A and B are shown apart, each in its own frame.
Chain A
Amino acid sequence: MESLLVLVPLAAAMGSFLAPGRGIASWGFLTSLVIPALATGLALDVYHHGARRVSLGGWAEPLGIHLHMDGLSVIFLLMTALVGALVSIYSTFFFDRESARHFWPLWLLMWAGLNSLFMVSDVFNAYVVLELVTICAAALAVLSGKTESLQAGLRYLLVAMAGSLAFLMGVGFLYAETGMLDMFMQSGGLQGGPVTAAAFGLMTAGLIMKSALLPFHFWLPPAHGEAPAPVSALLSALVIKGSFFLLLRLWVGVFEPAGLTYHGAYVLGCLGVLAVLWGSYQALIQARLKLIIAYSSVAQVGYLFLMFPLLCTVPEAPWAEKAWAGGTYQAISHGLAKAALFLAAGNLILSTGTDRIHYMKNIASRLPMTTFTLGLAGISLMGLPPSGGFVAKWMFMQAILESGQWWWAVAPVLGGLLTAGYVFRILGHAFLLAEKEARMLPVPFVLEKIPLILALASILIGFRAEEVIFMLQEHMLWTVEWEDGP
């Protein structure tokens, strides 16, 4: 079942590449039927039976390749399946034939990459799939072929490549030190000397470049802002989460036990807070809707990095579970809400031909459903109850206050206010009466519904946090005693 999560999109990618006929979208459509079912099955399995590990081809470690499935991976897999499936359906109606021919193979390949990224257990394979995702993402970003998007895409590619190389070098150092690649076995072999520190620094730097943490965020707004709407949705909701996921795995699983993370965690936390403030401020002053949403991603990714000072500075901290749940909830609710926002922006562009918010007058009456979507997704981003964003904020605030590191509270409190500022700036323009009726094209039914479903999902996951948090807290790989393990 686990390997199917990778093989199905991979096969579909090949299929859509080899048979790019009229029915090219059906490859994507089929995948988006199969993957959510598989991911749900896997999630139920992990929920009931706990985290597990599979050796591919029956080779035992340290030689074979392993897949690891715990609460965290399952939740990311589910989020990817939901966003991926809905964006696929949206894309079916969105792209013309020429773009579809490029879009489907790249996106399906990226989907395979993302799925394996969330299950990967050794650092070298992590590098391989990370690279796969990066290349597909960069190619997707330039799909429209316009000059601006080519420039933005090239810049994205260069930064992401630099990040990958730094990561690869770190992998080399790590291997030199421990003689192992499996990240669940490495932490014991770390000496804590300069080699370990170099590996730690290089891998961290590489991954935060890809996750667009301030000050490496500069590539994100143009790349996400210029890409076609479904691609922006995928890049913002899923791709930056992939590298973040890996960073979290490495810090909590490998470097924290080795006692490396103490100062670094504070640095990442500070960068996160700055990202929240700077990204939100930039979102407040942008004139284009898609750029507002893109800068909002810079800010929202900042929240995620609050996890590190809360998780990695005090061993066995009693508030760690809350920080853990808060961060994960932030990642998934941001994924859903951000995909909804980008798709809704895509609808506005289809209808009015522009995403400059000054031209967006009167859409509250003309496109009520899209406006409603913007509002709902905005609620989740602001962290107002009851939504996924609220669960994240609630958990984070509890962890922050319990840990006594009260200064981190600046990010959720001030960040929430600034988020409200830009969300309601968009909605304010949407409500404004137009002096003269602008020409608006109707938006196809499905294209209006899909973002609404995503936005609703980002709200609804706030109602039942219990199972998710249970999975996050109980079924973690590092808390499981392996029968065959090291």
Chain B
Amino acid sequence: MNLNVWLPLLVLASSLFAGLIIFMLDESRSRLRTALNLFAAAFKVVAVHYMAYRLLVHGEVHEVGFSMGLGFEFLLKVDFLSLMFLALSSNLWLVTTLYAVGYLEGSPNRSRFFGFFSLCVTASTGIAMAGNLITFFIFYEFLTLTTYPLVVHRETRQALEAGRNYLWYTIGGGSVLFVGIVWLHVLAGPFDFTDTGVLEALDPAHYSTLIIIFALLIAGLGVKAALVPLHGWLPVAMIAPAPVSALLHAVAVVKAGAFGIVRVVFDVYDREFAAGLGLLEPLALVAAVTIVFGSVRALMQTDLKKRLAYSTVSQVSYITLGVAILAPFSTVAAIVHLVHQGIMKITLFFCAGNIAETLGLHSIKDLGGVGRRMPVTAICFTVAAFGMIGVPPVAGFVSKWYLGLGGMDAGREWVVGIMVLSSMLNAAYFLPVVKTIWFKTPQKKWKIQRVSRFEAPLTLLLPALATASMSLLAGLWAGWTWSPLGIAKQIATGMGALP
């Protein structure tokens, strides 16, 4: 065996074993637990980047698979798209771990929390590396199971209610996805993401079945991707601790759904074939509706985290919209937004968590004066919010620009209309928050919850600062070959979408 086989396994194992060991650690060993967490996270980052280096520079393919005896292979195969998602999840895991350590300091059941936290990351790296639909499904369900204890972590009735809601949605979605996958398997036999054209080669008599299967797959994935009307669980799940929300919205659950949609359209059905079956039009429509609906609902929220949650519903669907428009630039936009949305949204959640933890503020109207009391947090929040609106040079602008270009290219001018409308709505719900933070005076006396040398504990401040800088840099250096945009362009070229 060589590194090509070992690296994917190591990437999986780093968080899996960290999680299992953490479960067994006694509650009081918090230093050891933190050290283990950070070591595993850092190790994963290094391994992923080394793998990226080998793939991008030397063109070595990392692949490992074994038969489970069920007529399919359990296959991990790292392509450019996997790498993009892997880099996102490993880097954000590192910062979120740091954040969670600071956030949960002194609270009960931390062994359980960090154990499931690591397993959750294992699941999302598995999703990234899955080489076929069934392997993807295995990790997709694993993700559902490992996030449940995180959502109900607070053990209150409200949290359990949210957890139950979350489960009904995700397990329901999982069963629909399962039916779709088995059906596809029966129809076309086992095939990997890299075998394009398998479905096209089928007897045209099966095409109508393929349409039904596509609907099943998208419905199953759409639950996690929070496509309207399957988004109901997401705002309720806000009850979870801030690092969990950050992770759920940026890399884990929501992104797993979106990534799955990308895989299904690009690698299972192949875009042109899907377009030929007339599947992309309805998908684009659903995405457009979700974008507008999410923004409108966000506008109506008064709680900061709830507003952010509905904003996720809207922003994640940019990915789906990009996938559903048959144009090179929208492909680029869809892939690059996987990363951009992740880093911007996680920044926003980190900031919201900071404000709630330090000053005890949750409602938007109470945020006055935060800019003076917590300038760094406020700056990070502002950068990310501007990114969401699409103000250049923050990363979000790049996504929106390419999405609009793609729409024009494909002759779908309404996409530009949706972009403009959505940006206006984004501005309408983010700018008031930014304004309140910087220009309003405090409404009531703050209940200072944590006293520290800086505006907030460093473990809470640094992660926000790191992801905010990433959002800025990803936009500023978008032209660099190895920037998210650069890699997205390479992926699109590899698919034959770009010359």
Contact = CB atoms under 8 A, between A and B. Distances in A.
A428 B145 contact: no
A424 B69 contact: no
A385 B141 contact: yes
Interface in A461-480: 462-470
A467 B69 contact: yes
Nearest to A424: B167
A470 to B, nearest CB: 7
Contacts of A177: none
Interface string B165-198: 0011001101100110011011000000000000
Nearest to B68: A465
B42 interface: no
**Is chain A's interface secondary structure helix, strand, loop, or mixed overall?**
helix
Interface stretch (B150-158, B288-296, B337-345): B150-158
Contact of A424 (B109, B164, B179): B164
B147 to A, nearest CB: 13
Interface residues of B, number: 35
B107 to A, nearest CB: 12
B64 to A, nearest CB: 15
B70 A465 contact: yes
Given A432-B155, A433-B155, A397 B182 contact: yes
A417 B138 contact: no
Interface string A395-424: 101100110000001000100110011001
B69 A433 contact: no
Contact of A465 (B69, B175, B178, B182): B69
B155 A420 contact: no
Contacts of B69: 464-470
B183 A401 contact: yes
A303 to B, nearest CB: 15
Interface in B258-303: none
Contact of A385 (B71, B112, B137): B137
Contacts of A469: 69-70
A76 to B, nearest CB: 19
B145 A379 contact: yes
B432 interface: no
Interface residues of A, number: 38
A397 B112 CA distance: 35
Given A395-B70, A397-B178, A420-B167, A384 B141 contact: yes
A308 interface: no
Nearest to A393: B178
Contacts of A384: 141-142, 144-145, 174
Given A397-B178, A398-B186, A424-B167, A466 B67 contact: yes
A465 B174 CA distance: 22
A368 interface: yes
B160 A431 contact: yes
Contacts of B185: 398
A428 B163 contact: yes
A397 B70 contact: no
Given A384-B144, A397-B178, A424-B163, 10 more contacts: A368-B112, A384-B141, A384-B174, A397-B179, A409-B179, A417-B172, A420-B171, A424-B164, A428-B160, A432-B155
Interface of A: 362, 364-365, 368, 375, 379, 382, 384-386, 391, 393-395, 397-398, 401-402, 409, 413, 416-417, 420-421, 424, 428, 431-433, 462-470
Interface of B: 67-71, 108-109, 112, 137-138, 141-142, 144-145, 148-149, 152, 155-157, 160, 163-164, 167-168, 171-172, 174-175, 178-179, 182-183, 185-186
